[in-house]
Structure 1
Amino acid sequence: MSFYSMFKKKKHREEYNTAAVIGKPTNVNHDIHVTVTEEGVLEGLPSSWVRQIGTQITKAEQNENPEVVKKVLQYYNFSVKKQNHAAQEIKHIFTENDIAEESKQIDLYMKSKDAHKSKDSNLSDDSSDFERSPLNQNPTLDNNLMQIKNLARSVDNLAIDVEEIEFRKPSNSDDDIYLRRSGLSDDDYMRQIRDICNSGNPLDFYEKTLKDLGSGASGMVFAATRRGTGELVAIKDIDMSKQTKKDLLLSEIKIMKNFKHKNLVNFLDAFVVDYDHLWVVMELLDGGPLTDVVTETVMKEGQIAAVCHEVLQAISYLHNRGTIHRDIKSDNVLLGMDGTVKVTDFGFCANVVGNEQRETMVGTPYWMAPEVVTRQKYGKKVDIWSLGIMIVEMLDGEPPYLREPPIRALYLIAANGRPRIMRGDTCSTALQRFIDRCLEVDVDRRATAEELLRDQFLEGRSELRSLTPLIRAAKKILHKN
C-alpha cells in the first residue's frame, strides 16, 4: 500500500375589486397565515412556495412542524432574493446589530409581492387566484376585469416598491438617492477610499504570477508575490463601479486594517487602480482549504483538536471585536504547508481565494445553526454551532445533509436540531463532550469560544506540523501539486 493510499477516502462529496375607479392603495399587506388541513396539507402559503416543497418535505412533516416549514421557506426565498439582488455586492462585516435589521428585512419581504410571485411564471399568486375565481367565468367581463387587475397590480407593486426602498439592493438611480441622503457623492467616497489606500502603484510592490485563483461575485482574484521577499499573496480586484454601498466599503477597509491575528487570513494592503478598481491584498496560504484534507484523508483526534484550537482563537478574536463570521466551514479554513491554520471569508475579503464551488442559492445551509432560520436568540454562538458541524466534516468527510437539496436541509436542521454523526460512536469521551458543547440546540447552554478554548479535548491536540502529511496526501490525490 502506498503512502498516499493510506490516507485516501474512497467517498467523495459530491382578491380584486370590480369598481372602475381604483384609488391609491392603503395598508398594502400580503401577510401569510399558514394552517394545516386534516390531510396534512399546508394552506395559506403562496402557491409557488407549495410547489417548492414538492417531495422535499413530507405531508407528515408539514403536519408536525407547519411553522418550521413556513420559516424554512420564508428564509430560503428571502435568501435567494437577497443574493440575486446583491450579485455584485461584496460581503460585509456582520455584527449582532445587523441581526435585528436582517430580521426586519425578512418580515418586510413577507409583505412584499416577491414573496407571492411564482418562480415558474410572471403571474403572481393573486393573478392565479383571479383566473380561477367565479368572476372570471363571464367572458363579457374578461377584458375589463383583466385591465383592472393589471392596473391594481401595477399600483400595488408601486406601493410596495416605495415601502421597500431601503430593503432592496439599489439600482444605479437608487444608489444616487442613497448617496444624497448621506451627503456624499460617489466621487466623495472614492476620494476617501483612495486616501486610506496605498498611494503607490501595486505593481511596484507585488509581481503577478501566472496563477488565477478564481472569480467571485465582486471581482477577479489572482496570486502575486511581494517583491524582495517572495511572500505569496492573493490580490482581489474589486470593480467599484458595481459596488453601490461604498460607505460600508470605506468603513470596512478601516476596520480590516486593524484586524490582525495569526489565525486570520489578514488584510495586507489596498490600492486604487484606474480610478474605480480596488485591489485588496491578502495573505495566501499554500496548503489549500481544509476541505481537501477532510474529503480525501482521515484525521486523527489530535489533528482535529489542533484545527479546532486555531479556529477557535480566530472566532474568539472576531467575537471580542463584535464581529460574527456566520460561515465557518472547512472551505473557509486555509492551511499552510507547515500546518498553519487560518480563517478567511469574513468582511469584504470574502472569497479572496475564489473558492465558491459549494455555494448554493441560499448560501451554505449545511453548517447553519437552527436559530438562523427560526430567528430565536440568534447571535455569536452561530459560529460555535458551525464549528461543531465542521468537526463532523473532519470525522465523516462531509457535513450532515450535504446530499439533500437546500430546502430539505434547512428543514432538517430546524426540525431535528443536533444531527447524527456517522463516526460518533468511535469518538473519545472528550471529543463527544466537545461536540455536545458545540451542537447544543439551546443557545444559552451552548459554549462560547472562550469556554471551548479551555476544554479538556484541546489539551490533547497534536502539533500543527502533523497536518503536513495530510495536506501533501490531499494535494497528491487531487493533483494540486
Structure 2
Amino acid sequence: MTAPNSDHEVFLITDVNPDELFENVGMLGRGSFGKVYKGQRQDTQEIFAVKVILLEDESHSARTVEELKEEIAIMKHCKSEFVAEFIEAYDANDSLYIVMELFEPGSVYDLGNMCKHFKFTEELIRDLCAQTLLGLEFLHSKGIIHRDIKSGNILLTLQGQAKLCDFGVSAVQGKRTDPRKTVIGTPYWMAPEIIQETGYDYKIDVWSLGITILEMAEGDPPFSKINPWRALFIIEMRPAPKFAKPKLYSEAMNEFLSLCVTKNPKERMTAGELLEHEFVKDRVNIIDSANPRGASELVKETVDEHIEEIETFRASVPFIEDDSDDETVKSIKGITAVFRANKTEIIMKREEVEKELGSLLIDETDSGTGSLGVDISEMEVGVAQLKQQFKTDMAALTKAYSRRKTALSSAREKINSES
C-alpha cells in the first residue's frame, strides 16, 4: 500500500475494522474502483453508503490512491445541503472505506437510465439546475472547482434534494486569478479552455452544467456517439452546442443554456450570476428556503413516482460478494482497465507526459486532439488494438454480408427466370 500523504492521514481511521462496524445490507453498485453497498452501523443502526476500494488492486496506481485521499480531504471541508455529506473514512484490510450519506434514488443519471420511457421535463431540468447552481456557488466560494459536473455526479434524496458528489478530480484554487492548466474531467462535458490548455477557473463547471442540461433534455451529451478523443477536438473547434429542437423549450431555457456554454470563458457567466437568471431565479429562492433546505417538491414527486422502478432495476443486477478469486470478474476488471481511458478522466499534464514519454504526443491526424498531450499508456494501446481488431472484424463481416446478399439476389433472379 502506498504511504498516505501526512495531510490526509488525519482523515483516515485506522484503529477500527469497518467490516465489523458496518453490516452489508444490500449492494448499490460496482465499478472500476471497487464496490458500494448499504452499510448499517451496528451501534446506531443508521444506514450509509460505504464505498470500498481495494488498495492493492493492480488497477489502482499510486496516483489513484492519492486522488482518493484528496477527495476525502475536500469532502471533509464541504458541509452544505447541496453537497453529498461525508461521514468518515477508514484505512483497513488493505482497503480504503469511504462512508457517505445514503442516496436511495441514486443519481440524476440513474433516474434517466433505469426508468423506462422517462423524460426530463423543462420544469424538472429547471429545478435540478437551480439545485446544482446552489451547490456550485457553495464550492466556488470555498475555492473548489469540481471539474466533473455531469448527471452521474448529481445525487438525489428521498426528500427531493440534489447534491453534488465525486470530488476525485476536483481542484482547490489557490487564487481566483491563478488559472489552472491540468487537463482533467470527462471528455464530453469538458470545457474548451481545458482542452486548449490556456488556463481555466470556476467557469468550467458552468460549461459542464450546460452540457448536463443537454444530457438531460436529449438523453446524451453532445458528440457522445463518437470517440472521446475525437470529441475533444470537435468541442474545441465547433460552435457552442444547442438543443437539437430549440422550439421544444422556452426562450428562457434556450438563453440559459447559451449562457452556460459560451465558448469564451471571459464572457461566460459565473454560477452566482446564473442564479439570478429568469430561468431559475424564482425556483432558487423557493428551493434555498425549503425544509429541508435544497429540496424541490417536483424532484421529490419524481423520485416518489420512480423509486420502486429504480430499486427493481438495481435488484436485477447481479453482484458477486467476494470476487477476489473469480476468473470472470478478473476478466471484467481487465476489460474495464483497458477502456477506462475512453470513459473517464484525462489526468496528465502535457509537461508530465513529455517528461515521461520523451515528448511523445498523439498525432493530430490520428486522434483529432491537436496539441493536447495524452498519456500513451498500455491501457490506451490496448484500446487502439481492440479498435483495430474491431475494424478488421467488421470489414470481414461486411464483405461476407455483401457476398451473401449478392448470392441471394442471384438465386432469386435465377428462380424468377425459371418460373
Task: Give the alignment's TM-score, normalised by structure 2.
Answer: 0.59
Partner of 2:80: 261
Distance between the aligned counterparts of 2:198 and 2:159, measured in 1? 41
Deviation track 1:316-338 (CA, whole Å, cap 9, x = no partner) reads 22222222111111111111233
Deviation, structure 1 residue 452: 1.1
Deviation, structure 1 residue 386: 0.6
Partner of 1:244: 62
Alignment of 1:101-250 (within 5 A): 186=3, 193=9, 196-197=12-13, 199-203=15-19, 205-217=21-33, 219-227=34-42, 230-241=45-56, 244=62
Partner of 1:288: 106
Partner of 2:225: 403
Is the contact made by 1:303 and 1:464 (CA closer than 8 Å) also made in structure 2? no
Deviation, structure 1 residue 446: 0.4
Partner of 1:305: 126
2:272 matched to 1:450? yes
Deviation, structure 1 residue 293: 3.2
Partner of 1:465: 297
Is the contact made by 2:70 and 2:168 (CA closer than 8 Å) also made in structure 1? no
Distance between the aligned counterparts of 2:53 and 2:103, measured in 1? 21
Partner of 1:346: 167
Structure 1 residues 226 and 310: alpha-carbon distance in aligned structure 2, compared to 1, 3 A threshold: farther
Alignment of 1:264-283 (within 5 A): 264-274=83-93, 276-283=94-101
Structure 1 residues 257 and 348: alpha-carbon distance in aligned structure 2, compared to 1, 3 A threshold: farther
Larger Rg: 1
Bigger relative CO (Cα 8 Å, ≥ 6 apart): 1
Deviation, structure 1 residue 384: 0.3
Give the SS at the match of 1:480.
helix
Deviation, structure 1 residue 205: 4.3
Root-mean-square deviation (Å): 3.1
Give the SS at the match of 1:270.
strand
Structure 2 stretches lacking a partner, 5+ long = 171-183, 288-294, 315-419
Q: Which moved more, 1:315-324 or 1:444-453?
A: 315-324
Structure 1 residues 304 and 272: alpha-carbon distance in aligned structure 2, compared to 1, 3 A threshold: same
Is the contact made by 2:23 and 2:39 (CA closer than 8 Å) also made in structure 1? yes
Q: What percentage of aligned pairs have identical amino acids?
A: 32
2:164 matched to 1:331? no
Deviation track 1:30-65 (CA, whole Å, cap 9, x = no partner) reads xxxxxxxxxxxxxxxxxxxxxxxxxxxxxxxxxxxx
Distance between the aligned counterparts of 2:262 and 2:39, measured in 1? 42
Code of the aligned partner of 1:223: K
Deviation, structure 1 residue 474: 4.9
Code of the aligned partner of 1:374: Q
Deviation, structure 1 residue 252: 5.2
1:416 to 213, 238, 247: 238
Code of the aligned partner of 1:399: P
Deviation track 1:208-249 (CA, whole Å, cap 9, x = no partner) reads 2132521333x3322212346554322122334455256666
Structure 1 residues 372 and 348: alpha-carbon distance in aligned structure 2, compared to 1, 3 A threshold: closer
Code of the aligned partner of 1:396: E
Deviation, structure 1 residue 282: 1.0
2:184 matched to 1:366? no
Distance between the aligned counterparts of 1:363 and 1:304, measured in 2? 22
Q: Which moved more, 1:192-201 or 1:203-212?
A: 192-201
Structure 1 residues 252 and 212: alpha-carbon distance in aligned structure 2, compared to 1, 3 A threshold: closer
2:216 to 390, 394, 399: 394
Is the contact made by 1:289 and 1:333 (CA closer than 8 Å) also made in structure 2? yes
Distance between the aligned counterparts of 2:84 and 2:71, measured in 1? 15
Code of the aligned partner of 2:18: P
Code of the aligned partner of 1:327: D
Structure 1 residues 344 and 469: alpha-carbon distance in aligned structure 2, compared to 1, 3 A threshold: same
Distance between the aligned counterparts of 1:270 and 1:414, measured in 2? 39
Partner of 1:318: 139
